[in-house]
Amino acid sequence: EVQLSESGGGLVPPGGSLRLSCTTSGFTFNNYAMNWVRQAPGRGLEWVSLTSHSGDTRYYADSVKGRFTISRDNSNSTLYLHLTSLRAEDTAVYFCAKGPRSGNYYNSWGQGTLVTVSS
């Protein structure tokens, strides 16, 4: 059974940094692209970033480009998202998500971790 579990969320002041983790099991991690998707309170879904199975290719939403960095540790089947220069509008539940190997759509999701940016 595929399992994804996010951690690392919390309260951080504007301008601060945070690293989110997504631990995985139940599939061959290094065969799959992985994604981060977020959802601000009471709002819709926003795709944030994708990393290819090897980590060589990464894509970002314009809203986070230059501030967030996606990475992965294939030896530990773990996905990361490093958030810097945080803004109030980054407040959201952050989900990690996987789909088919290309990562185009998402059939497995974690439970999400809440990031709150506030002074």
Q: State the residues that interact with other proteins by CB under 8 A.
A: 35, 37, 44-47, 50, 59-62, 95, 97, 99, 104-107, 109-112
CA 49 to CA 11: how far, in whole Å?
21
Which residue number, 37 or 83, has a Cβ lying nearer to other proteins? Answer: 37
Which amino acid belongs to residue 69? T
Which residue number, 44 or 66, has a Cβ lying nearer to other proteins? Answer: 44
Minimum distance between the CB of residue 108 and other proteins, rounded to whole angstroms?
A: 8
Minimum distance between the CB of residue 46 and other proteins, rounded to whole angstroms?
A: 7
Which residue number, 64 or 83, has a Cβ lying nearer to other proteins? Answer: 64
Measured in degrees and rounded to the nearest 5, phi and psi for residue 99 equal -140, -140
Q: What share of the chain is helix, strand, coil (3-state, %, to 5)?
A: 5, 50, 45
Minimum distance between the CB of residue 104 and other proteins, rounded to whole angstroms?
A: 4
Q: Tell me the three state secondary structure of residue 62.
A: coil
CA 119 to CA 100: how far, in whole Å?
39
Which residue number, 50 or 117, has a Cβ lying nearer to other proteins? Answer: 50
Q: Are 112 and 93 in contact (CB under 8 A)?
A: yes
Minimum distance between the CB of residue 80 and other proteins, rounded to whole angstroms?
A: 19
